[in-house]
Structure 1
Amino acid sequence: MTAGAIYPSLKDRVVFITGGGSGIGASIVEHFCAQGSKVAFVDIADEPSRELVRSIQAKGDPAPVFIPCDLKDIEALRSAIQRTVDDLGPITVLVNNAAHDERHSFESVTPDYWDERMATNLRHQFFAAQAVYPHMKGAGGGAIVNMGSVSWVIGQGGMPAYTTAKSAIAGLTRSLARDFGEANIRVNCVLPGWIMTERQKTKWLTPEGEEELLRRQCVKRQLQPAELARVVLFFASDDSSACTNQNYIADGGWV
């Protein structure tokens, strides 16, 4: 993790992060812990998540709380949020990060697969926001950062259920920002470009794909998870107090 700005407003703030066990999510967890936040995260992958906790402890930063959770199970998500409140205090930052960008052809999609993709990539974002709302309202306000994707903006093919879910997050963000604003809760969405997590490099990156990336991005290099985590920190902090109802693209200038 590279050094970045320190946000005093994030120290001791209770932060709940979905999909925090690996990739961009793990970097977000690390960055909030380095800010001195009280962090809880959920993930379906047990061992990588526990290893992340150990690695953060080894660096001397406050250790996050890992709660195993399949986000398709909304009651389990609600339980994890309540456990976080009981153990750490009212949640005032929510990062809706969890997603799964499995490729699929339009011919292969069945109604059951479509519903599973919506549950994996979209549905939990709404129900997490719904669950944290009373805690943020009671605390006098908060910040929600939803993670979208530029895949739908650029019209990427080969995964229509994923891009549909991610495009819906833009609308969800604007709706919740309006509904939550009176409680001093800000809601923004960050749309990452192609961020080079281990999953991306292992599963999807090809020489042809990297050539296209470097041709289309204004910044001629691979973007790293820490660069997205620092954007999330900004929108979670009081430094972005005037920012809500926005969809912010962080893609190195691809779009």
Structure 2
Amino acid sequence: MMSRFACYPSLVDRNVLITGGASGIGAAFVEQFSRQGARVAFLDVDERAAETLVERLADARHVPIYLYCDLTDLDALRAAIASARAQIGAIAVLINNAANDGRHALADIDESAFEHNLAVNLRHQIFATQAVIPDMRRLGGGSIICLGSTGWMRKGAGYPLYAAAKAAVRGFVNGMARELGQQRIRINSLVPGWVITERQARLWLDDAGREEIARSQCLPGFLKPDELARAALFLAADDSRMCTGQDYIVDGGWI
């Protein structure tokens, strides 16, 4: 069956900031929003992947702007957001995507590892949100999309700090929805299942994983980054203007 996907007129010329946008799910966000005609700025530390992505989108209505940024450095994060604002205008949509689900054991965690993991997977979401709220107030509203994970919901093993950070994303979204909603700023969590990016396929998708996907998902096939990006388009567009404080799970029916 041929797929036919939605176009969102409200996203044309809308200013979108995406963290961790050079590869994987983030690159799908950058591409899908750019193809909708949005003005996109994205942050990442992977310069080569970012440059390749920008080249691939050279024919977009607005070629996306790449800004190098180590999100664990809050001063650098604030500076990058200010630079994005100067280049594309006030931020109307923020996608807090950047994360790393590297495997680790509880016994191996020390204070430094704890601080670093939360900086990578949680802290930047809070401070990036803080930085763009004045823009959204001036614009009369906006949309913030925080990437969660079903990993902690289905009690996945091998990443306790990642699981804790992603569970906290849900709390942050719920804790901000009412306050921001009074200013017509929507905040939702977009919650992926096991998305088979190049990295996931290389590091962790083995025969046992394929069997688990086939057994656990209601829908057959691998979940791909574009599925998440298309859900993000809806959450950023005016079509979702009365949606806030929710978890939008895209996992093939696993949970």
Task: Tell me how far 1:60 sits from its aligned partner.
Answer: 4.1
Letter of the 2:18 counterpart: I
Task: Tell me how far 1:237 sits from its aligned partner.
Answer: 0.5
Q: Does structure 1 conserve the Cα–Cα contact (< 8 Å) formed by 2:34 and 2:60?
A: no
Equivalent residues in 2 for 1:172-187 (5 A)?
Answer: 172-187=172-187
1:254 alignment partner in structure 2: 254
Distance 1:237 1:248 in 2: 15
Equivalent residues in 2 for 1:160-179 (5 A)?
Answer: 160-179=160-179
What is the TM-score with the length of structure 1 in the denominator? 0.97
Task: Tell me how far 1:4 sits from its aligned partner.
Answer: 2.2
What are the Cα deviations for residues 135-159 of structure 1, in whole angstroms up to 9, with x where unaligned?
Answer: 0001110000000000010011111
1:118 alignment partner in structure 2: 118
Distance 2:133 2:190 in 1: 20
Distance 1:61 1:210 in 2: 38
Letter of the 2:184 counterpart: N
1:235 alignment partner in structure 2: 235
Secondary structure in structure 2 of the residue aligned to 1:183: coil
What are the Cα deviations for residues 147-193 of structure 1, in whole angstroms up to 9, with x where unaligned?
Answer: 00000100111110000000000000111212211111000001100
Letter of the 1:249 counterpart: I
**How many residue pairs get matched?**
253
Secondary structure in structure 1 of the residue aligned to 2:57: helix
Letter of the 1:99 counterpart: A
Distance 2:177 2:44 in 1: 26
1:86 alignment partner in structure 2: 86
Task: Tell me how far 1:62 sits from its aligned partner.
Answer: 2.3
Task: Tell me how far 1:61 sits from its aligned partner.
Answer: 4.4
| Structure 2 portions without partners, runs of 5+ | none
Equivalent residues in 2 for 1:122-161 (5 A)?
Answer: 122-161=122-161
What are the Cα deviations for residues 111-158 of structure 1, in whole angstroms up to 9, with x where unaligned?
Answer: 110111000000000000000000000111000000000001001111
Distance 2:23 2:116 in 1: 21
Pairing 1:40–2:64 present: no
2:57 alignment partner in structure 1: 56
Distance 1:83 1:4 in 2: 32
Task: Tell me how far 1:3 sits from its aligned partner.
Answer: 6.0
1:18 alignment partner in structure 2: 19
2:31 alignment partner in structure 1: 30
2:65 alignment partner in structure 1: 65
Distance 2:154 2:165 in 1: 15
Letter of the 1:204 counterpart: W
RMSD: 1.0
Distance 2:208 2:32 in 1: 32
Distance 1:86 1:143 in 2: 19
Identity among equivalent positions (%) equals: 47
Q: Does structure 1 conserve the Cα–Cα contact (< 8 Å) formed by 2:37 and 2:60?
A: no
Distance 2:45 2:5 in 1: 29
Task: Tell me how far 1:198 sits from its aligned partner.
Answer: 0.2
Distance 1:230 1:60 in 2: 17
